[in-house]
Structures are given as structure tokens and as C-alpha cells.
Amino acid sequence: MVQRTVVGRTGGDWAMRRVIFNQKGGVGKSTITCNLAALSALRGQRALVVDLDAQANSSRYLLGDALDDVDAGLPDFFHDMLSLRLSSKPLDDFIHATEVPGLSVMPASRELDELQGKLESRYKIYKLKEALEELSGDYDAIYLDTPPALNFYTRSALIAADRCLIPFDCDEFSRRALMELLDTVAEIRADHNPQLDVEGIIVNMFQGRARVMQNAVAELEATGQPVLQPPISASVKVRESHERSLPLVLMAPKHKVSLEYAALFDALNGTGKTGRRRSA
């Protein structure tokens, strides 16, 4: 049985909306999204994951084989936005409960790829923001997982979010792309969403003994980037949690990486020490 502790409820009619964003694939966006969302549920919050990636990794991670039986999800929401009907389906029709009490998901599918051109041409870029504002009274925390590309769905998520978390895997390509990524967030903030804030950079799949990773993090800190603490360590246990379709913080709550996620969650939500590490 999943044990829940009710702390940090936002209450009222406002839900914190966080987008997990990086244009590079393989940095752990879905893993971070689902584990933070699972922790929200464990801490007594009503949490929702919105999966905007056609690969549907977050959806599979949270629903497992039950994803194959989903009859309506995020693609159906966007398809509804393109229809000429006078009334749309209730948003609840596109949301599905997971086995974790308090945690729901609006799942993705490959159909998102097919819809993208139509959504762009009809300028539906604000529809997700409007929908999540409508849902704010039903949730305390909303997490948006994005595809590894700057496309319609990524922009929709950045426009809909309050805060942006950037996974960083200490790869040279990630380091070089980071400034461009931050420029993208700044552009969205200036043109569409003035409340969007870069909450911090999550160092993921970190190997503390690897000099190249230590140097990469030190370089970020030296340039004043908001590096969050603690970093999330690399572990084969994460792959096992993917195979079991169960977030690591639920599968192995005492594991080192689960404890790192818990510390990061507390830092982000003000229930622990500050998450940003100061450079020397």
C-alpha cells in the first residue's frame, strides 16, 4: 500500500504548473517528471502529469499496459480543439487515474505527430494553457513532460507553465545547447508568458567520481546558472523502474536515487533546504 503524507497542499484554485524541458533527447525528462509527480502524490497533493511527447514515455511509465486500453487522452483533447462542435468534451474525459492515489495522467500517443501541423495552422497554441487554468482547482501540482524538440507541443507547455525545470546530463552537447535553450525560455516569457520562470537546472544521471561531470557542473555554477541540489545519480535501478512501469520513488523509496528525488522535491517546494547551490 502506498503511504501518503499530506504536506504542502496549495489549496484554493491555483495549481503550480512545472514544465520539464530540454530539446536534447535522453536527458531523463520523463523519469524526472514522473518521479516528482509521484512524490507530489505521496506528500498528499493532487498531481497531474500532462504527456506532450508522442513517444508517450511518461504515459507508459505511469500506466504500464493499461495505456493500451486508454480510449481518450491528450491527442483527443487537441482533436476536440480542431472540431467544429459547439461544445467540447469535459476535460476529465482525457485524464486517467494511475495506481498511485492522488496521481493522474493525461496520456500521449503517436497521434500527436499527426495533429501537429493542423494545430499550428489553426493557431491553437494557447489551448493547453486555457485547459490547465480550468483544471487548476482540481489539482495542486501539474507537471508537463515535453518532446525533445522545440515544436508546437513544447511551446504550448512553456506558455502554459509557471516554472521551467531543465534536465542536464553533463554531456558536451547539452552544455553547448543550454544557452540556446535559456534564450528560448526568455523569448517565450517575453512574447507569451511573462510569469514563466526558470526554476533551475536538474543535474541528472550524475556520476560523482567522473571528472568530466564535476567540471561540467562547476562551469555552470561559475557562470551563475541556477543548478539545483542534489544532483540525481545514475543507477540501473532507474531502468528497472521503467520496466516495471513504477516510478522509482515508489518501487524503491529507500534507494539512494529515490532519496535524492525526495530532497530535490523538498527543495523545490520549500519544505527543505534551498535547492540552488551557490558558486564559490
Name the amino acid, one letter, at 268. Answer: L
Report which secondary-structure segment, H or E, holds 278. Answer: none
| pTM of the entire predicted model | 0.91
CA distances from 213 to 96, 202, 208 (A): 38, 13, 7
Task: Specify the pairing of strand 163-168 against strand 47-51.
Answer: unpaired
| Tens of pLDDT, residues 13-70 | 578 999 999 998 889 999 999 999 999 999 999 999 999 999 999 999 999 999 999 9
Distance between alpha carbon 202 and the CA centroid of its chain, in Å? 12
- What's the chain's average pLDDT? 90
> Topology of 16-268 in CATH?
Rossmann fold (3.40.50)
Partnered with residue 233 across adjacent β-strands are 206
Domain segments of the chain: what residues? 16-268
At residue 278, the pLDDT reads: 33
* 210 has a pLDDT exceeding 60: yes
At residue 85, the pLDDT reads: 62
| Tens of pLDDT, residues 97-152 | 999 999 999 999 999 999 999 999 999 999 999 999 999 899 999 999 999 999 99
